[in-house]
Amino acid sequence: MLKRFVLWDYARASWQYDVMVGIIVAFIFLTPRAWFRDQPRIPRASSIVRPAENGGNVLFVDSEVLADVPEAGRLERLRAFLKTQPSTANISVTRVEPILDSEGELQGYMAFVRP
């Protein structure tokens, strides 16, 4: 019986087939999310920091952080967002530039920061 179960050897619409499908569906819906470390994606400022001109640094920022923010308000919104992040709370943002791929789609932002 175990061999037939593993090899999925039961005819469709048989009660054994229905039991196997029920077990699979129960596993999908009843398995805790933590078992697979599947967590919601939270937009954040990345830890990729590179040296920039005039003694500052460049920080990569995910495009979701500034989604639906007009260009004029990006700098202030990013300053407020970085203050909420523990690793970037004490830095100041001097300018923000979008990063576009070869097709013109937004990939993220480069934030020029100073300590």
Say what the pLDDT of residue 27 is: 94
What kind and span of H or E run contains 92? strand 92-100
Cα-based angle 101, 64, 57 (whole degrees, multiple of 5): 70
pLDDT tens across the length of the chain (115 residues):
778 877 888 888 899 899 999 999 999 999 887 787 766 555 555 555 666 666 677 888 888 778 888 888 888 888 888 777 766 667 778 888 888 888 888 888 888 877 7
